[in-house]
Each structure stands twice: as structure tokens, then as C-alpha cells.
């Protein structure tokens, strides 16, 4: 009696409290296949006997001590047998306590002891299940499967035992990645629902497995069965609706799901899941073509008070992808910037792909920002003095109104008793019934003031630490630079109209440099939109504006040729006009020849671009320069718009140099720089042109390293010798020496990793 109602009772209570504590701390990732048992095992840490990972005085330690006390102090082992019938329960409790504290080998010993000494005991079926679960944790799945199958063959099993055994067997099969067998066992387990919580979890996992097997109808039925299960925990029911929305097809009627989500949003008990519900509503909106509603719901998902970090990052990613697809690359880059710095594991396939996508936008964001800033300044420059004064007067008036409103809100906040005096103000609040947090305006002001002082902080302990500043997009503009945390505008002059007018540049040289940077940005954006993103309308728009704004003479023809190629792809009606301009104004250029004779060269055999390049490069090494030039011209036409085209252009330039056509070599390098920006060939050509022109530059800060010759060290040494030996020489001598060296060295070869990339 003492063993059962004192020692073991307290031990079992401690065990239940420990399990409840584990459940409260365990966070399911419903975006992945749920584990059958919500127990996170950390193999990287080892725990000494009698100690758990968190504390030496936790609930499982208490349960274990009670079990040991029952055996040691209340055991009645006499004449080779145990006379206290509660001792087998004590060993069972001991095994479970060790199991939950993740000491699986000692737990297995406890279960084995009971099975050996009490083979006919009432606990035998449960012990066999727990022993099998322990073997699964120890990666002995085959033994566990054999034992559980043998147990399930018994015809006298209670419903709850059968449910537990089938669940454990599904757990073993999932550990072995046997989806079909696990699904069959879960179908057996959900036939009964003695354990309401595990039954709900089994139904959810069953729906996920059907989905993995692409059996969407059965998956829908499983999730619907879970949604209709009245005793299912809230988290499973809500995520069942979410899963139904995710697997909805084009033929699925989405209105019932939409109504269900709206119903869930009205219940404040579901507030912990509002971020996920809004996110799924956004997905339904996208499926129905309601993009505006979808964007609004994504914003709600992000700004829900209890929005989870992972869910928030998904919403940011979807917003970035939406604007990326709409070719609004600047806004897309801003949203991607809210994802990448905040991910927990940057090495996942999804994040690596997203990171590559974001890096591809760096130049677009840079040039578009330059364009936007310069355009706004030129707009002010074009205004008359009166127009500028009116413009900034209107701006200052708006600024004053905003500050006046902020002052009113601040005064209201102080009257609400949040400024520090809790005595009289508290009484005033009681009389008026207006508490601070019931007033949306004062709360909004308080939030703005907090962000102004502290920045956008994440909700966690030690939030004052600078490392906890959120890097995500925020609706509030703190007007503080990231570099030095100083205001962008002097507060003492923010109402002074003349202060703003004095900031407008008037110096002719400054304005000319801005025009040059605008022209450069337009040309680069045109090529980037064309080559990287195939956004031909945007590329056409940028290049047409480039040609209309006094561009550099040497870039006019390449820009027109790029327009010609895009007009050809998009069947633009201006194709004939641009073609006529190129042929008429530049009749002897290569561009005109390519346009007039696009089908002049025929190709009888097929080979990969890399094999073709190797073949031509071999001819170059055998000094067949006229043949190399001819084959390069064929390849340039054949591999139009392919990455390897730049290599043939560079190889052709070197073949011309070998043929003593030095001017054509220089023009060939300039052609590569103008038409293949941000490639290794372009970087290589820029370095050679810099040496020829006597320009001493630091190593460019680009992610594409310069293309190397077959002997990287030799080339590096030669480059150093050039720079040191050129100092006493004249410009012509420098040019001659560089050309002679390049003629001797030749172009860089195609390396194996580049072959694979181009292929």
C-alpha cells in the first residue's frame, strides 16, 4: 500500500509533470513531416546517470529516485521471488524516467529486467512496446519491428495497446524511411482513438504521408477527419485546415476553406496562429489571382503581434518573389534582405538558392538607386527658384503637421500615466476609462518613440543588447544612417526652406559627373536586364533612354545592337528602323555584318560549346591564326547569347594580335568589356587595357576573379614585372611592351569547372 499510494504515486505524478513540461517546450515544425513521438533527441550531448540535460532536480530525476526508493526500501525479494507486486511498476517507472531523460541504454536495462523476471505480468504488452521504442532510439529498428509485429499478432490486445503498438511500429518504419509501411501502420493506429492526443498526431502524420505519396484525395480526407475530431488539440485542427489549403488543386472549391480561416480569425484563442492563417489566406488569394489581397495578407502575417520568426521569413520571401517576378528588383532585394540575415541555417537548399537570387540583384539595386537619386536631383535642378521654394515650403508644412501630431500624442501619453507618475494619473484614467493601451494613437506614438530610441528589437530576453536589433523591413523610418547613427537632416534646420534649397548642386562639373553616372547606370541596367533576367521590356526602356541622353560614343553602337537583338526576340515594330540605322551609320562594323549575314555560316555537325572551344584553342596553339579567327566568328554566331560566346571573342582578339593586327586586338578587348560585363573575360580585358593605357588600379572589388592564364603564378609574376619595368618608359613603349607580352602569353584557357558550369 505504501509503495503504490505513496512512493510510486509521487513518482508517476513527477513523470507526468515532466512529460507535460517537455510537451510545452517542444515546438513542432508543421512545414516538415512530424515525428511520431514529440521528443527531441540531442545526440551531441552525453548525460551522466541520474542527471538530465537541464537540471539535476527536474521531474524525471524525481521520478527515477522514487522508483529506486520503491525497489530498495520496499522490495520483498524472499526465497528467489519478489512478493511486493508493485516492484514491476517501479521498474517500469524507472525505465520511462530514463527514456525521457534520453538515457536509453539504462532504460532498456530496466525494461529487460521486468520482462525477464515478470514474463506473465499485466505490464508485459506495454513493456514490449516501450522496449521497442527504446531500441528505435538506439537505431535497432529491425529488432523493434520484429518484436512489435509479434505483439500485434496477439488477438487479446486491448484497443489502447494495439494503438500504441501500431504507432510505435510506424515510428520504426519512418526511422528506416519506409513511407508505405509507416502509412499502413498509422492506418491501423487511427482506427481507434483511445489516446486523443496521439490519435490527432497520427492523423496529421497520415495526411502528410498521403501527400508525400501524391495521394491528395486521401490526404484531404485525413486532414478533414482531424478537423472534425472535436477532442483534437487546437494546434492540430488549425494546421489540418492549413494543410488542406496547401494541397488544394485548381479544381478545389476554396471558398469553404476561406470561410473557415475567417472563422478562426474571429476566435481570440487562435491568436498564436494568426500569422499562419493570414499566410495561408495569402496563398489562396494568389491561387485566385487576387494579388492585392494576397500582399495585404502577407503584411498582416508579418506584423501580427505573435508572428513566429520562421513564418515571418516565409512571408518576406513570398513578397520578395512576387516583386521579383514583377521585375521590381529593388523592392524584391529589400524583402530578401529581411530573410537572409535572419535564417537559422543558411546552408539549406532553399536559402542557398535565395542567396544566389539576392546576389544577382546587387548590381540592379545599386544602379537603380543611383538612377532614382540622380533623377530626383535633376528634377529639382530643372525647377525655377519659385518652384523650388514652393516645393520645399509644402514639404516643411507637412513636416510641421507631423511633428505637431507627435507632440499631441506625446502629451496624451503623459496624461495616460506612462511617463512615470502613477499616482494621480492612474485615478484620472479610472474616471475617464481611457487606459493607455486602449488608445491606438498613444500606443502608436509609444511604439514610434521606442523604435526611435532602441531600433527594431526582437521580442526576447536581454532585448537591450545591440545584437538583438532586427534587420528586417520596418514601416517606421528612423532617419538614421547605418554607418554612424547620425540624423540625415540637421534638426535645428529642418523647418528652414533655404537649408533644403542650398543642398541642390549647381556646379557644372558636379552635374556633369551625375549625368555620366546616370548614363553608365542606364547602360549597365540595360545589359543586366537583357542578359541576366531576360526582362526585355525593361532592358529596352533603359537602353532607349541611354541613347537619348548623350551617351559615350563608343557605347552607342553596342547599345543599338542589343536593342536590335531584343526587338528581334520580341517582334518589336521598331526592328526595321534600328537595323537600318546600324547598317547605314556603321556599315563596316562587325555588328552590321552580323545583321546582314545572320545565316551565312552553316553548321554540319553538332558538338558541345566546350568541345568546340577546345578545338579552336588547339588550332590557336598550333599557330593557325587565320583559321582560328574564322572558327571564332562561326562560333560567335552559333553560340549567340551563351556564356561561352565571350571566350570566343577574347580568343579571336588574341588571334588578331598574333596576326600583328594590334589595333584590332585593342578593339576586340574593348568589345568584350562593353558587351560581356561582369564576366571573367571582361575583367581580364579590362586589366590588359589598363596596362596598355598606363592606368594603375587596385585590384577590383568584384566577386568574379580575373581569368588566369594556364600558369597563374607565371602570369602574376609577369604582371608585376610589367608594372615595375614600365615606370621609366614612354607611353608608346609601354603599349608596345604590354602587347608583346600578351602576344607571347596568349588568352586564358577554359578550366574544367568552367566547362561544367557552361554545360
Q: Which of 535, 565, 596 is the last residue in one of the domains?
A: 596
Q: Which residue has the higher pLDDT, 243 or 638?
A: 243
Count of structural domains, the chain:
3
Who contacts 293 (Cβ-Cβ below 8 Å, separation ≥6)?
281, 282, 285
**Number of CB atoms found within 10 A of residue 701's CB:** 5
pLDDT of residue 128: 94
Write down the pLDDT at residue 15: 93
* 3-state secondary structure at position 110: helix
Read off the pLDDT band of 249 (50, 70, 90): confident
**Residue 612 pLDDT class (50, 70, 90 cuts):** confident
Question: Over 90: is that where the pLDDT of 35 sits?
Answer: yes
Q: Are residues 729 and 637 in the same domain?
A: yes
Residues 733 and 629 in one domain: yes
pLDDT value at 48 more than 60 = no
For residues 636 and 648, the answer to whether their CB atoms sit within 8 Å is: yes
In a domain, 58, yes or no: no
Contact 341, 335 (CB under 8 A): no
Q: Looking at residue 697, what DSSP letter applies? A: -
What lies within 8 Å, CB to CB, of 478 at 6+ separation is 451, 452, 455
For the segment 477-492, the average pLDDT, to the nearest whole number, is 46
What is the DSSP code (8-state) at residue 706?
A: P
State mean pLDDT over 293-299. Answer: 94
Nearest alpha-carbon partner for 88 in 128, 46, 131, 122:
122
Query: Cell numbers of 237, please?
Result: 485542427
Are 644 and 756 contacting, i.e. CB atoms less than 8 angstroms apart?
Answer: no
Task: Give helix 291-303 / helix 274-287 axis angle, nearest 10°.
Answer: 170
User: What is the per-residue pLDDT across 716-726, written as a single tens digit (0 to 9) for each?
Assistant: 444 444 444 44
- Name the domain boundary from 502, 521, 552: 502
Question: Higher confidence at residue 618 or residue 390?
Answer: 390
Q: What is the mean pLDDT of residues 302-309?
A: 88
* Predicted pLDDT at 743: 65
- The angle subtended at Cα 691 by Cα 687 and Cα 695, nearest 5°, is 95
List the grid coordinates of 473. Answer: 523591413
Give the contacts of 180 (CB within 8 A, at least 6 positions apart).
Answer: 213
Is 698's pLDDT higher than 50?
no
At CA 210, angle to CA 204 and CA 215, rounded to 5? 140
| Residues 536 and 574 reside in one and the same domain | yes
> Quick check: is 402 in a domain?
yes
Looking at residue 186, what is its pLDDT? 95
pLDDT at 461: 55
pLDDT band at 46 (very low <50, low <70, confident <90, very high): very low
Is residue 586 located within the same domain as residue 715? no
What is the mean predicted confidence (pLDDT) over 429-444? 52
Both 456 and 522 in a single domain? no
Identify the bridge partners of residue 480 per DSSP, sorted by sequence position. 487
- Confidence tier at 429 by pLDDT (50, 70, 90): very low
Q: Does residue 192 register a pLDDT over 70?
A: yes
667, part of any domain: yes
Given a cut of 80, whether residue 750 has pLDDT beyond it is no
Same domain? 393 vs 534:
no
77: which strand partners? 82
Q: Residue 431: what pLDDT?
A: 41
Q: Choose from 51-55, 379-383, 418-422, 465-469 the range with maximum mean pLDDT.
A: 379-383
Residue pLDDT, tens place only, 162-188: 999 999 999 999 999 999 999 999 999
Residues 467, 487 within the same domain: yes
The Cα–Cα gap between 89 and 648 comes to: 81
569 or 678, which is more confident? 569
Q: Which of 748, 726, 728 is nearest to 737 (CA)?
A: 726
pLDDT at 402 over 90: no
pLDDT > 90: percent of the chain: 35
Of the chain, the percentage scoring pLDDT greater than 70 comes to: 78
Instruction: For helices 196-212 and 234-246, give the axis angle rounded to 10 degrees.
Output: 10
CA 479/CA 147 separation, integer angstroms: 67
Q: Render pLDDT for 336-381 as a digit per residue (tens, 0 to 9).
A: 888 888 787 888 888 888 888 888 888 888 889 899 899 999 999 9
Q: What is the rounded average pLDDT of the residues 76-103? A: 87
Q: For the segment 709-718, what is each residue's pLDDT rounded down to a tens digit?
A: 334 344 444 4
The whole-angstrom separation of Cα 178 and Cα 188 is 16
Q: Are residues 723 and 749 in the same domain?
A: yes
In a domain, 4, yes or no: no
Q: Identify whether residues 472 and 587 lie together within a single domain.
A: no
C-alpha cell belonging to residue 418: 506612462
Q: What is the DSSP string of 174-196?
A: HHTT-HHHHHHHHHHHTT--SSH
Check whether residue 650 and residue 664 sit in a common domain.
yes
Digit-coded pLDDT (tens) for 263-295: 999 999 999 999 999 999 999 999 989 999 999
CA-wise closest residue to 704 among 676, 685, 677, 679: 679
State whether 485 and 514 are in the same domain: no
Q: What is the CATH number of the domain that holds 585?
A: 1.25.40
Tell me the mean pLDDT in the region 727-754: 62
Name the DSSP letter for residue 487.
Answer: B
Degrees to nearest 5, angle at CA 502 with 497 and 508 = 145
Is the pLDDT assigned to residue 225 strictly greater than 50? yes
pLDDT of 605 strictly over 90: no
Average pLDDT value for residue range 235-249: 91
Q: How far is CA 2 from CA 29, 76, 92, in A?
A: 43, 13, 17
Residue 144 near residue 104 (C-beta atoms within 8 A): no
Contact between 477 and 444 under an 8 Å Cβ cutoff? The reply is no
Report yes or no on 299 lying in a domain.
no
Please name which of 323, 330, 325, 333 lies closest in space to residue 298, comparing C-alpha atoms: 323
pLDDT at site 259: 92
On whether the CB atoms of residues 388 and 380 are closer than 8 A, the answer is yes
- Which residues, other chains included, contact 609 with Cβ-Cβ below 8 Å and sequence gap of 6+? 635, 639, 642, 644, 758, 759
* pLDDT reading at 696 higher than 60: no
Q: Is the pLDDT of residue 751 over 70?
A: no
Q: How far is CA 640 from CA 140, 531, 644, in A?
A: 58, 11, 9
157 in a structural domain: no
**How would you classify the pairing of strands 77-78 and 81-82?**
antiparallel
What's the chain's average pLDDT? 80
Cell 579552336: give the residue.
616
Is the predicted pLDDT of residue 308 greater than 80, yes or no?
yes
Bigger pLDDT: 458 or 609? 609
Q: Which band of pLDDT confidence, cut at 50, 70 and 90, is reported for residue 686?
A: confident
Three-class HEC string of 431-473: HHCCCHHHCHHHHHHHHHHHHHHHCCECCCCCCCCHHHECCCC
Per-residue pLDDT, averaged over 611-627, amounts to: 83
Question: Which of 485, 502, 519 represents a domain boundary (last residue)?
Answer: 502
Q: Is 284 helix (H, G, I), strand (E, B) or coil?
A: helix
CB 563 within 8 A of CB 544: yes
Domain extent at residue 584: 508-596
469, 485 Cβ separation under 8 angstroms: no
Report the pLDDT value the prediction gives residue 61, as an integer from 0 to 100. 92
> Do residues 239 and 261 make contact, with C-beta atoms less than 8 angstroms apart?
no
Tell me the three cell numbers of residue 700.
577590383
Asked if the structure places residue 694 within a domain, the reply is: yes
Looking at the structure, do residues 443 and 537 belong to the same domain, yes or no?
Answer: no
Give the model's pLDDT for residue 721: 42
Structure confidence by residue, pLDDT tens digits, 562-604: 999 999 999 999 999 999 999 999 888 878 877 887 655 444 4
Amino acid at each position: 500500500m505504501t509503495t503504490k499510494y505513496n512512493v510510486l504515486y509521487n513518482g508517476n505524478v513527477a513523470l507526468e509533470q515532466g512529460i507535460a513540461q517537455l510537451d510545452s517546450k517542444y515546438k513542432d515544425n508543421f512545414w516538415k513531416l512530424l515525428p511520431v513521438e514529440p521528443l527531441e533527441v540531442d545526440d551531441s550531448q552525453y548525460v551522466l546517470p541520474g542527471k538530465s540535460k537541464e537540471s539535476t532536480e527536474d521531474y524525471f530525476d524525481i521520478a527515477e529516485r522514487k522508483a529506486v526508493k520503491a525497489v530498495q526500501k520496499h522490495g520483498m525479494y524472499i526465497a528467489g521471488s519478489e512478493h511486493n507486486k508493485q516492484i514491476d511498476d517501479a521498474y517500469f517507472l524507472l525505465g520511462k524516467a530514463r527514456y525521457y531523460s534520453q538515457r536509453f541504454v539504462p532504460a532498456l536495462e530496466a525494461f529487460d529486467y521486468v520482462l525477464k523476471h515478470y514474463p506473465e505480468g499485466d505490464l508485459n504488452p506495454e513493456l514490449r512496446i516501450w522496449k521497442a521504442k527504446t531500441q528505435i532510439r538506439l537505431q535497432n529498428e529491425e529488432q523493434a519491428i520484429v518484436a512489435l509485429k509479434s505483439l500485434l499478432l496477439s488477438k487479446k490486445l486491448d484497443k489502447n495497446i494495439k494503438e500504441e503498438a501500431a504507432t510505435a511500429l510506424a515510428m520504426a518504419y519512418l526511422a528506416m524511411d519506409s513511407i508505405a509501411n509507416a502509412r499502413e501502420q498509422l492506418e491501423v493506429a487511427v482506427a481507434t482513438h483511445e489516446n486523443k492526443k496521439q490519435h490527432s498526431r497520427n492523423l496529421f502524420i497520415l495526411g502528410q504521408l498521403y501527400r508525400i505519396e501524391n495521394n491528395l484525395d486521401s490526404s484531404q480526407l485525413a486532414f478533414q477527419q482531424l478537423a472534425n475530431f472535436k477532442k483534437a488539440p487546437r494546434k492540430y485542427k488549425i494546421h489540418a485546415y492549413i494543410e488542406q489549403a496547401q494541397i488544394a488543386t485548381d479544381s478545389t472549391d476554396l471558398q469553404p476553406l476561406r470561410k473557415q480561416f475567417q472563422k478562426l480569425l474571429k476566435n481570440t484563442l487562435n491568436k498564436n496562429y494568426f500569422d499562419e492563417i493570414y499566410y495561408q489566406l495569402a496563398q489562396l488569394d494568389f491561387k485566385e489571382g487576387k494579388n492585392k489581397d494576397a500582399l495585404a495578407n502577407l503584411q498582416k502575417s508579418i506584423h501580427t503581434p505573435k508572428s513566429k520568426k520562421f513564418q515571418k521569413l516565409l512571408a518576406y520571401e513570398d513578397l520578395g518573389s512576387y516583386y521579383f517576378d514583377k521585375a521590381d528588383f529593388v523592392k524584391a532585394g529589400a524583402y530578401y534582405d529581411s530573410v537572409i540575415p535572419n535564417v537559422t541555417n543558411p546552408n539549406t537548399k532553399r536559402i542557398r538558392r535565395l542567396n544566389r537570387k539576392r546576389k544577382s540583384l546587387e548590381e540592379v539595386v545599386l544602379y537603380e538607386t543611383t538612377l532614382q537619386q540622380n533623377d530626383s536631383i535633376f528634377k529639382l535642378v530643372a525647377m525655377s527658384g519659385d518652384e523650388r521654394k514652393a516645393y520645399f515650403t509644402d514639404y516643411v508644412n507637412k513636416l510641421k503637421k507631423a511633428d505637431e501630431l507627435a507632440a499631441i500624442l506625446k502629451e496624451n501619453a503623459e496624461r495616460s500615466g506612462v511617463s512615470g507618475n502613477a499616482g494621480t494619473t492612474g485615478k484620472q484614467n479610472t474616471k475617464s476609462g481611457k487606459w493607455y493601451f486602449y488608445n491606438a494613437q498613444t500606443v502608436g506614438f509609444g511604439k514610434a518613440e521606442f523604435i526611435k530610441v532602441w531600433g527594431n528589437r526582437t521580442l526576447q530576453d536581454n532585448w537591450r543588447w545591440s545584437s538583438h536589433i532586427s534587420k528586417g523591413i520596418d514601416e517606421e523610418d528612423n532617419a538614421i544612417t547605418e554607418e554612424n547613427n547620425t540624423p540625415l537632416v540637421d534638426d535645428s534646420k529642418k523647418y528652414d526652406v533655404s537649408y533644403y534649397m542650398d543642398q541642390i548642386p549647381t556646379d557644372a562639373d558636379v552635374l556633369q559627373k551625375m549625368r555620366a553616372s546616370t548614363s553608365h547606370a542606364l547602360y549597365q541596367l540595360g545589359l543586366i536586364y537583357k542578359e541576366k533576367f531576360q526582362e526585355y521590356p525593361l532592358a529596352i526602356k533603359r537602353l532607349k533612354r541611354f541613347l537619348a541622353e548623350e551617351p559615350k560614343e563608343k557605347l552607342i553602337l553596342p547599345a543599338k545592337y542589343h536593342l536590335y537583338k531584343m526587338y528581334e526576340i520580341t517582334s518589336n515594330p521598331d526592328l526595321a528602323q534600328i537595323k537600318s540605322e546600324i547598317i547605314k551609320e556603321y556599315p563596316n562594323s562587325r555588328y552590321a555584318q552580323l545583321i546582314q549575314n545572320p545565316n551565312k555560316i552553316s553548321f554540319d555537325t553538332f558538338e558541345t560549346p566546350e568541345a568546340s572551344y577546345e578545338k579552336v584553342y588547339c588550332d590557336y596553339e598550333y599557330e593557325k591564326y587565320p583559321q582560328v579567327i574564322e572558327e571564332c566568328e562561326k562560333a560567335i554566331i552559333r553560340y549567340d547569347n551563351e556564356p561561352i560566346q565571350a571566350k570566343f571573342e577574347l580568343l579571336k582578339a588574341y588571334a588578331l594580335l598574333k596576326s600583328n593586327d594590334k589595333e584590332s586586338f585593342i578593339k576586340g578587348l574593348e568589345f568584350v568589356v562593353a558587351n560581356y560585363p561582369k564576366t571573367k573575360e571582361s575583367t581580364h580585358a579590362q586589366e590588359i587595357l589598363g596596362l596598355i593605357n598606363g592606368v594603375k588600379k587596385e585590384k577590383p572589388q568584384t566577386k568574379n576573379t580575373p581569368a588566369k592564364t594556364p600558369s597563374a603564378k607565371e602570369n602574376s609574376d609577369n604582371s608585376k614585372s610589367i608594372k615595375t619595368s614600365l615606370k621609366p618608359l614612354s607611353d608608346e613603349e609601354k603599349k608596345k611592351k604590354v602587347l608583346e607580352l600578351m602576344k607571347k602569353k596568349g588568352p586564358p584557357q577554359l578550366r574544367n569547372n568552367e566547362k561544367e558550369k557552361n554545360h
